């Protein structure tokens, strides 16, 4: 039996669907349907039970759900523009801490979602070593809430007992419900398809041209591969989950328009909202040494191949994973 929290969300639903297709039995899915269409993400999964996220911990601790073989904890408030610190700490820290503590006590495999937002402006690099993690200074409350849980894991000596996945910019099917938090690929698709144009943020740093801001974009299918590796090999630690190669938003736009068969590449640049200008990551690039040294050998898909697969296999047909 495997528990997946955040199971109706983007990454959680793809993990749950993949587990189901791989023959996993007795799946317990945990989430809350805060968005009208999120149920579609898990409609094709034959799960044992669905549990509301606010009821889950009590049920688990009372023994009502039995003892799972593993808990894959993807549930969180993932809104990088959320400024209610009490809410973020409740959802991303206290909830995670309570669930992890139960798993440790019951000797249940615990795999959880961290975030590259903990790296802040990148001035301290993107190395996932424990010592450097303790020094990081995020740019927004969301990043802080994820960092505090990583620090709790490290300070309590749990990195040898659990596995954390520090996600960089993940994109792919099942993200349609995320609104402004969905990938620029998903948000740009309708205009790109209709008009052959992609709109990108202007740059406010002289070292980066408009659209030249660079991120480590990783496709959801690569995230699945890393998740399965951690689940099946009992590897522990907090690992960056990116490709190790930063690409510009201009590259992303070119790849999207190419996947749509557009003959001309047209990009427009617009003002970045003032409230995020000082909190914006202009560059991220995962140091992947830790994951590679743990035994993960599979190559990551290129940005071009990933976007082509997403567009051709899912967006054009309006298909979920």
Q: List the catalytic residues.
A: 142, 178
Closest by alpha carbon to 291, among 217, 216, 221, 226? 226
In whole angstroms, what is the distance from residue 267 CA to residue 53 CA?
Answer: 41
Torsions phi, psi for 124 (to 5 deg): -100, 10
Report how far apart, in Å, the C-alpha atoms of 174 and of each of 48, 73, 82, 307, 318 are: 21, 17, 21, 14, 10
| CA 135 to mean position of chain CA atoms | 22
The dihedrals phi and psi of 159, each to the nearest 5 degrees, come to -65, -20
Do the beta carbons of residue 95 and residue 71 sit within 8 Å? no
Burial (CB count <10 Å: 0-12, 13-18, 19+), residue 130: middle
Sheet-wide strand order for 28-31: 49-52, 28-31, 2-5, 70-73, 109-115, 163-167, 237-241
- Contact by Cβ (8 Å): 165, 113: yes
| Strand 70-73, strand 2-5: pairing | parallel
Per the CB < 8 A criterion, the answer to whether 85 and 63 are in contact is: no
Compute the C-alpha angle 244/247/250, nearest 5°: 170
């Amino acid at each position: 039996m495997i528990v997946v929290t955040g199971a109706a969300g983007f990454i959680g639903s793809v993990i749950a669907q993949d587990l189901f297709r791989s023959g996993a039995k007795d799946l317990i899915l945990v989430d809350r349907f805060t968005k009208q269409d999120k149920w579609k993400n898990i409609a094709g999964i034959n799960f044992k039970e669905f549990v509301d996220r606010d009821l889950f911990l009590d049920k688990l601790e009372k023994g009502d759900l039995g003892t799972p073989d593993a808990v894959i904890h993807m549930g969180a408030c993932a809104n990088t523009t959320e400024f209610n610190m009490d809410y973020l700490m409740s959802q991303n820290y206290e909830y995670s801490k309570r669930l992890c503590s139960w798993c440790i006590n019951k000797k249940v495999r615990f795999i959880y979602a961290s975030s590259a937002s903990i790296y802040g402006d990148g001035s301290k690099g993107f190395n996932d070593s424990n010592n450097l993690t303790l020094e990081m200074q995020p740019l927004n409350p969301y990043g802080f809430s994820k960092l505090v849980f990583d620090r709790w894991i490290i300070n309590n000596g749990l990195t040898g007992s659990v596995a954390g996945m520090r996600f960089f910019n993940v994109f792919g099917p099942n993200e349609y419900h995320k609104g402004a938090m969905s990938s620029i690929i998903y948000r740009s698709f309708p205009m790109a398809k209709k008009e052959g144009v992609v709109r990108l943020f202007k740059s406010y740093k002289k070292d980066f041209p408009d659209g030249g801001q660079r991120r480590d974009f990783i496709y959801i299918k690569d995230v699945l591969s890393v998740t399965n590796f951690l689940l099946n090999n009992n590897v522990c630690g907090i690992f960056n989950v990116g490709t190790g190669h930063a690409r510009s938003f201009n590259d992303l736009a070119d790849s999207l328009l190419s996947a749509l068969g557009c003959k001309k590449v047209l990009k427009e640049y617009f003002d970045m909202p003032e409230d995020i200008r000082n909190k914006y990551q202009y560059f991220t690039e995962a140091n992947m040494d830790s994951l590679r040294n743990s035994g993960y050998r599979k190559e990551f898909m290129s940005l071009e191949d990933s976007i082509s697969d997403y567009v051709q296999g899912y967006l054009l047909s309006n298909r979920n994973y």
